[in-house]
Amino acid sequence: MIEFKNNPIEHDISISSPFAYRIHPVHGTRHHHSGNDLRPLVSGLDGDLLYSVADGQVVVSKVNGGGVKFGYGYYIIIQYDGWCALYGHLMGLDVSVGQRVKAGEVIGRMGTTGTSTGTHLHFQLYNSNYTVKFFTEDEDGVDMYAVDPELYYVSDKKTWEEILYDCLDEPDRWVKAIDTLREMAELSSDLGDLEIAKYFSSLIIKVYEKGVVDGGK
Ligand SMILES: [Zn+2]
């Protein structure tokens, strides 16, 4: 039974591309996206740490066929008890085949290798032990053993405010977080949701002031 003890990324999760049919952002073709594209809610940065979702063993640690600019780039597959997870577009390879890993242990760093338009983790889940058939698609173009990871993430139920305070000591992410908040405030006011727009605007001021007090980041 698939059960996560830890999320694959730190900070709260934002899914920028779900488990669904989509027009491929690079190839422009319609294809089933058999995983989740993940980044922290306030934007991913190269080198963000990635974690094993349970106790398992590394069964694949390699560069995509064709080279580092193709497919998943640097990617790994970890086998758990009857199921597996693939982590793609990594910065490099930090674990080796056969290595045992614990839930919550760092197993790599977020990057943008392979066919990718920006820093994120492609996270794919398989309801099967590792087999070369993983990469076989059924007649609908869905990877044979792939299941939607979205059902399994661990919720850490942080408020927006807590998430933002978490990144106060990371200037790059903090700047991006403020931008994200601005976009959300604008979007909510465009949608006519003025209460929400006001909430995001007040958060910007609060978080900005706290950043300034804590060292002007
Ligand atoms: Zn993806």
The Å distance, Cα 88 to ligand 1 centre, comes to 8
State mean pLDDT over 124-131.
91
The Å distance, Cα 214 to ligand 1 centre, comes to 36
Cα(3) to centroid(ligand 1), Å:
21
Q: Which of 46, 102, 44 is nearest to 73 (CA)?
A: 46
Ligand 1 centroid from CA 114, angstroms: 11
Each residue of 164-186: pLDDT tens digit? Answer: 777 777 777 777 777 777 877 88
| Banded pLDDT at 156 (limits 50, 70, 90) | low
Task: Please provide the DSSP assignment of 38-67 as one string.
Answer: EEETT---TT-EEE-SSSEEEEEEEEPTT-
Domain edges within the chain: 13-151, 160-213
**Residue 84 CB-density burial (10 A; 0-12 exposed, 13-18 middle, 19+ buried):** buried
Percent of the residues in the chain that have a pLDDT greater than 90, as a whole number: 38
Contact present, 132 and 69 (Cβ < 8 Å):
no
Measured between alpha carbons, how far is 33 from 17 in angstroms, rounded to an integer?
8
CATH class, range 13-151: mainly beta
User: For 74-126, how does the pLDDT look when each residue is reduced to its tens digit (9 = 90+)?
Assistant: 999 999 999 999 999 999 999 999 999 999 999 999 999 999 888 889 999 99
Ligand 1 centre from 200 Cα, in Å?
Answer: 29
Ligand 1 midpoint to CA 35 (Å) = 6
Q: In this predicted structure, what is the pLDDT of residue 216?
A: 46
Cβ neighbours of residue 84 closer than 8 Å, sequence gap 6 or more: 59, 77, 78, 125, 126, 128, 129, 130, 134
Q: Separation of 5 CA from ligand 1 center, angstroms?
A: 22
